[in-house]
Every structure is written in structure tokens, then in C-alpha cells.
């Protein structure tokens, strides 16, 4: 299973969409990334909370998938 994104990357997914809508002429990834990083730094803890909660949820789902994957791998090795 693919590792879950951090809270920052959950934020960036949403930020990219809104940034491109407001600035359709900007196509450089570095410019968008830098703007997203600055915005993330300026957010308060309360504003970051929804992204951190979503990242925590994705992490717990990842943990369940990894447990299932490891059980499957163990049963495959013992056969």
C-alpha cells in the first residue's frame, strides 16, 4: 500500500486547485509549491486542524491496509 500523505500534502492538494483557478497563467510547480508553503506557514493551529485530522484518518486507514497486507504476506510465505 502507498504511504499516506502528511497534513501539508493534504493541504497542498486543495491549495493547488484554488491557486490555479485564481492564477491560471502560472504553470510552474515551484511557484505554486512556494506559495503553498508560505500559506501553510501562515495558517494557525486551528486552521491546520482539519488537514491534520484528514491526514490522521488516512494514516489509520493505511495502518489497516498494512496489517491486511502483512497477514496476506505471512500466509503466502507459510503455504
Contact at 8 Å (CB) between 4 and 59? yes
Q: Which of 4, 1, 3, 2 is nearest to 51 (CA)?
A: 4
pTM of the predicted structure, to 2 decimals: 0.82
Q: For residue 62, what pLDDT is reported?
A: 97
10-residue averages of pLDDT along the chain (79 residues)? 96 96 93 96 97 98 96 77
Contacts of 32 (CB under 8 A, 6+ apart): 16, 19, 20, 26
- Could you tell me if 9 and 54 are in contact, meaning their C-beta atoms sit under 8 angstroms apart? no
pLDDT at 13: 96
Amino acid at each position: 500500500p502507498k504511504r499516506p500523505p502528511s497534513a501539508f500534502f493534504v493541504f497542498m492538494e486543495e491549495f493547488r486547485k484554488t491557486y490555479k483557478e485564481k492564477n491560471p497563467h502560472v504553470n510552474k510547480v515551484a511557484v505554486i509549491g512556494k506559495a503553498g508553503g508560505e500559506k501553510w506557514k501562515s495558517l494557525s493551529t486551528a486552521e491546520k486542524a482539519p488537514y491534520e485530522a484528514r491526514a490522521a484518518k488516512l494514516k489509520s486507514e493505511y495502518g489497516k491496509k498494512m496489517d491486511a497486507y502483512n497477514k496476506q504476506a505471512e500466509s503466502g510465505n507459510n503455504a
